[in-house]
Amino acid sequence: MIEPASPPRPRPAAPAASTLLSVTGVSIAFGGVVALDRVTLEVPRGALVSIIGPNGAGKTTLFNCITGLYRPDRGRILIDGRDLIGRKPDHIARLGIARTFQNVELFLRMTALENLLLGRHLHFHAGFFRAALGTPGWRREEVRHREEAERILDFLDLQEARNRRVGDLPLGRQRLVELGRALATEPRLLLLDEPSSGMTADEKADLVFRIKDIREEMGITVILVEHDLKLVMGISDWIAVLDHGVKIAQGTAAEVQANPDVVHAYLGDATG
């Protein structure tokens, strides 16, 4: 595997004591079923945090609340002190939050490069008429965005897929394209929802290095929802555990593994 000379747009992380995302007392129910019950998280800038729990624990629901797909019934969600609740998903993306999904959400008939360029749309300043006329300013902007997309393709070792239809790629490569599209938005907070699902063991090992580089070299804060406990325990600064919408534990990998509530609710089930 050829490693890129440098990652796209490296952004040094700020001191760990600085909170980037604050989730306080967030609750949401659907038809009387409580999906999240007073969940609280403080995510430091530059951290790599994982959220685990059994199916239906509320992990993806929490991501949907953070990104504006759901509006919590109560609680607060802040990024750098700015309230996210009530904002539309595109406004939240402009504040620097990007995500991937459990089920790959890509334009399968478009190429990998075209999908990454779609992720750059937040940063296009040229209007429709300038684009239609192909003005020099628009052409310069298009070149800049293509260069950024190419850097991300290099970073994720996806150059061989740049001109291939995403629908023709294996699932593991599709997940990397989706990760690349999220990076193309230039986030400061990246939410990864089951990114290793469908990947081979080798692809998972490569993904771990990619995620570490995203945090360490690009300075992006990462929150990971993942069922592969080996991956989670080996990569996370700390871990939060949800069960039936309630946060039952938080701590380092060793602390979480030793927590009897976690063993009962999740790890015990996973290990039989």
Cα(252)–Cα(258) distance, integer angstroms: 10
Helices (H) and strands (E) in the chain, counts: 11, 10
pLDDT at 32: 87
Q: Would you say 52 and 62 are in contact if contact means Cβ atoms under 8 Å apart?
A: no
- With tokens 């979480």, the residue in question is 256
Lowest mean pLDDT among 3-12, 135-144, 205-214: 3-12
Q: Would you say 105 and 116 are in contact if contact means Cβ atoms under 8 Å apart?
A: no
Cα(126)–Cα(142) distance, integer angstroms: 9
More confident residue, 235 or 128: 235
More confident residue, 262 or 142: 262
Residue 121, number of CB atoms within 10 A of its CB: 12
| 3-state secondary structure (DSSP) of residue 219 | coil
How large is the average pLDDT for residues 64-79? 97
pLDDT more than 90, % of the chain: 67
pTM metric for this prediction:
0.84
Residue-range domains of the chain with CATH? 19-271 (3.40.50.300)
pLDDT at 102: 85
pLDDT more than 70, % of the chain: 83
pLDDT at 10: 46
More confident residue, 13 or 247: 247
pLDDT at 128: 45
pLDDT at 100: 93
| 3-state secondary structure (DSSP) of residue 77 | strand
Summarised one tens digit per residue, pLDDT across range 81-107 is: 999 999 999 999 999 999 999 888 888
Q: Side chain identity at 64, as an amino acid letter?
A: N
- With tokens 């003005």, the residue in question is 135
- With tokens 């504006």, the residue in question is 68
**Length of the chain in residues, anyone?**
272
pLDDT classification of 268: cutoffs 50, 70, 90: low
Summarised one tens digit per residue, pLDDT across range 187-220 is: 999 999 999 988 899 999 999 999 999 999 999 9
**Residue 76 gets which letter from DSSP?**
E
Q: Would you say 204 and 195 are in contact if contact means Cβ atoms under 8 Å apart?
A: no
- With tokens 């609740």, the residue in question is 85
